[in-house]
Amino acid sequence: TLGALDLSASDGRDVRAVLRQPKRCALLVYLALAGSEQFRRRDTVVALFWPERDGSSTRALRQALTFLRRELGVGIVATRGEEEIGLEPGAVSIDVREFERSCDTGNHADAFALYRGDFLDGFFYPMPDRRSSIFSSASAHADAVDAVSREQIASPTASGSAPARSA
């Protein structure tokens, strides 16, 4: 997510327990970044999140998915057969993807409004270098924000002033 990691349920339920489980939270972000159209193979997810484990890796993934289903509710985590996992279409929105869509369509005002800080700012999940690439979109977002900021400053709003930007 852009800025500090936040998670809320559309029905108002408290889902902050997910934020207190860094690996499970990282798994949710990974699946959300893939989008609801993209399922991930279980063996790939196990290799990314539990490479140090022996035969218990599959069980660890199963436990993580059970936890996410319990905390987030029915209709969020999806499976396709026995080998693929993902998120149900429309069940989760993530500001990073909304930001990208706004940039891609040239709607820089919306992109600027969505940007609340660096990608996963303040979130720590210890990952060896080979796994850090699953969240590597931060620099691309920073470049897009710079471009959006320049356009917002160059094109004053209807009131005649550029939007304020805090440091």
**pTM, 2 dp:** 0.76
Q: Are 64 and 24 within 8 A, CB to CB?
A: yes
Q: Report pLDDT for 128.
A: 46
Q: Report pLDDT for 158.
A: 39
Q: Report pLDDT for 154.
A: 57
pLDDT average per 10 residues of sequence, the chain (167 residues): 82 87 91 84 90 81 94 91 92 85 87 83 64 51 61 51 40
Q: Report pLDDT for 150.
A: 60
For residues 144, 22, 74 and 59, what is the CA-based torsion angle, rounded to 10 degrees? 120
